[in-house]
Structure 1
């Protein structure tokens, strides 16, 4: 151990959970690097002596993964492979007291908004002039841009406000500057993320400003794709769609989690929308942006959900025909209003219902993909695997949506855009050939 302590510190950051956590890790990495601290992200080499685990506390499965990761790092510390283990992020914010008692081997615990305190562990100063500077952990051609923090909603199933606090928008000028910096690093696509995208600006500008932000971002030279994630349906600012339609570098793509379709479930979930209102909004969106790709996420097994509710959800999907759908099984979270209800749907039944709903969507996805055969799309090349290239159209986000499999004898540089004619369709993927 003596030789280890004489070596310069090297920090490995492990990120769990969502893209918002990933951005936090990238900001921490950028700050450490600016303070001359050697830092890597999710390195498997074990040539570091300090680990920071950025945890997720969203649902039971995520909490379990976070705790197992912490325990694995603590075990490495016990074996002398690490000097320090620090923990930050949502799980740490929410359960710090309990975790400190249960895992005393962790050197320090930090909440979601305590970046300066983490830096102090490394005798590092928070550099305000680095606002927006990050050490990207994504491939260099795309990045996430977090436009706000926290959430003011009180959805019955969601613990995020407990971990992330109230909604705080970032100023437009700051976001434009960060986007310009990302483009200078080679980024061609940015994905706007927030707990609730469409609330943006209400706190600092006293009105919804997502449309104005999009105009400013779409003027950034070299930014080829802008993608919108996590829009809330209630009081959706329709002017966003006008900007999307007018600006060619804003993807015709919208990720809008709806969570359910049965009115009694929406009311119990405190979603502030009815099925009829959601259907009206979806129609308005498709009317304003013809051909838009709509992604949504749903929850199976919320307390009180009946078979009739599941059938209504399936009917909703069949009628609305979303392009992309994800589904979670309900997780009973302490501190939420849903926790006051009886978690009366058994775990295996939740899973069965989720599977049942996804089978409906699988068929819809396949039918929609079949319609693309023979069409040509602009595709960004993400990676090469097993002798083939994998890319995405503007209708697909990273990791959660379809990929386009491209067989090409010609080298296709990662991050380049190519025109691809679709030749085959599967449930969730496409195949195509490059058009010269």
Structure 2
């Protein structure tokens, strides 16, 4: 929008149009998105809706029938066309627009930036609807990823946060296709990408990593100081029975062994994770297994959520849903 000459207003009164970026992952996020649309309609009245929830246009229009346009996730061109339709772009040839830096315009602070390496996910976790919203895994060419990272470094970025829905699966969909960067061959593969990023001389932090076997080699890069000794791993639970109900690609005993091995290789490794309590069928015994696992794992940072039904998720059909008051007790 900025490169087309538009300015970002600081409040509703100063805006000709409001773009609401939504989330449709869990019910609380859906409600928050619908509330945000309602607020924008009330305060401004000219609203374009985009993001994951945009896939369910009927739900949005049922509550907010007068929104101007509804688009889906990553529908950048559709959003731009809608904005152009309702608020014509300013004249071109503005030197402040024509001289857009090569790294583009970011909304994060100057010292760090997000680097998205893929879209979608090949897993079918029962509580999640990301594959139905974003599709299966589609990895960016590694040359493109590395060039963006290099451009961010040239722009003064000191830390890159690597993100995707499943970072450690990067390149699986391409069968680790060979690409080129700086004239050198590089495979579209998790380790190879991390190794190349580690050569840039800036901090590289990995998010949303599953504990696949090939992650072990990346720990070696951390031990060597090539990338930050940090992993964000969504373990979600520790009870084997609950993990099976979730259809998670990990086993609690194996992950404890992994964590032990990783810390032996890289003693200053920091691990962050998130967990769900109150998943359908979770018993007191399952919950205690999770608590015991956390004591043994000694993770550095932990986030916790109560299970929330998601429309379209297969977990909704599981028996023995946990009462809300018990969810809150466990939380």
Q: Do both share a fold (TM > 0.5)?
A: yes
**Partner Cα separation in structure 1 for residue 126 and residue 235 of structure 2:** 13
1:417 corresponds in structure 2 to none
Q: How many residues were matched structurally?
A: 307
Deviations 1:238-295 (A, max 9, x none): 21112222234x1111111111111110111101322211112212221222220111
1:219 corresponds in structure 2 to 199
Q: Contact conserved, 1:176 with 1:220, CA < 8 A, in 2?
A: no
2:173 corresponds in structure 1 to 203
Secondary structure of residue in 2 paired with 1:218: helix
1:92 corresponds in structure 2 to 54
**Partner Cα separation in structure 2 for residue 134 and residue 38 of structure 1:** 15
**Partner Cα separation in structure 2 for residue 334 and residue 47 of structure 1:** 36
Match of residue 54, structure 1, among 21, 26, 43 = 21
**Partner Cα separation in structure 1 for residue 239 and residue 245 of structure 2:** 10
**Partner Cα separation in structure 2 for residue 134 and residue 343 of structure 1:** 49
Secondary structure of residue in 1 paired with 2:299: coil
Q: CA deviation at 1:169?
A: 0.8
Q: CA deviation at 1:131?
A: 12
Match of residue 230, structure 1, among 208, 214, 226 = 208
Runs of 4+ in 1 over 3 A off after TM superposition: 130-134, 205-208
Which consecutive unaligned segments of at least 5 residues does structure 1 have?
1-31, 79-83, 125-129, 355-436
Q: CA deviation at 1:106?
A: 0.7
Residue 168 of structure 2 corresponds to residue 191 of structure 1: no
**Partner Cα separation in structure 1 for residue 103 and residue 83 of structure 2:** 19
Q: Contact conserved, 1:241 with 1:288, CA < 8 A, in 2?
A: yes
Residue 78 of structure 2 corresponds to residue 117 of structure 1: yes
Q: Structure 2 vs 1, CA of residues 51 and 45 (structure 1 numbering), >3 Å: closer, same or farther?
A: closer
**Partner Cα separation in structure 2 for residue 217 and residue 316 of structure 1:** 33
TM-score by length of 2: 0.87
Secondary structure of residue in 2 paired with 1:278: helix
Higher RCO, Cα 8 Å, sep 6+: 2
2:253 corresponds in structure 1 to 276
Which consecutive unaligned segments of at least 5 residues does structure 2 have?
90-99, 178-187
Q: CA deviation at 1:218?
A: 1.9
Deviations 1:221-245 (A, max 9, x none): 5x2x110111112445321112222
1:65 corresponds in structure 2 to 32
**Partner Cα separation in structure 2 for residue 131 and residue 341 of structure 1:** 51
Q: Structure 2 vs 1, CA of residues 343 and 57 (structure 1 numbering), >3 Å: closer, same or farther?
A: farther
**Partner Cα separation in structure 2 for residue 338 and residue 322 of structure 1:** 27
Q: Contact conserved, 2:242 with 2:282, CA < 8 A, in 1?
A: yes
Residue 289 of structure 2 corresponds to residue 312 of structure 1: yes
Q: Contact conserved, 2:48 with 2:82, CA < 8 A, in 1?
A: no
Residue 41 of structure 2 corresponds to residue 74 of structure 1: yes
Deviations 1:75-109 (A, max 9, x none): 1234xxxxx2101011112x222212331111000
**Partner Cα separation in structure 2 for residue 230 and residue 120 of structure 1:** 32
**Partner Cα separation in structure 1 for residue 116 and residue 157 of structure 2:** 15
**Partner Cα separation in structure 2 for residue 216 and residue 255 of structure 1:** 20
Q: Contact conserved, 1:262 with 1:309, CA < 8 A, in 2?
A: yes
Deviations 1:130-150 (A, max 9, x none): 998442212111111111111
Residue 290 of structure 2 corresponds to residue 323 of structure 1: no
**Partner Cα separation in structure 2 for residue 103 and residue 263 of structure 1:** 43
Q: Structure 2 vs 1, CA of residues 270 and 344 (structure 1 numbering), >3 Å: closer, same or farther?
A: same
Residue 263 of structure 2 corresponds to residue 296 of structure 1: no
Q: Contact conserved, 1:147 with 1:169, CA < 8 A, in 2?
A: yes
Q: CA deviation at 1:51?
A: 0.9
Secondary structure of residue in 2 paired with 1:304: coil
**Partner Cα separation in structure 1 for residue 64 and residue 291 of structure 2:** 44
Q: Contact conserved, 1:151 with 1:195, CA < 8 A, in 2?
A: yes
Residue 159 of structure 2 corresponds to residue 181 of structure 1: no
Match of residue 132, structure 2, among 157, 162, 166 = 162
Q: Structure 2 vs 1, CA of residues 346 and 335 (structure 1 numbering), >3 Å: closer, same or farther?
A: same
Deviations 1:39-80 (A, max 9, x none): 35xx337312111111111212211111111000011234xx
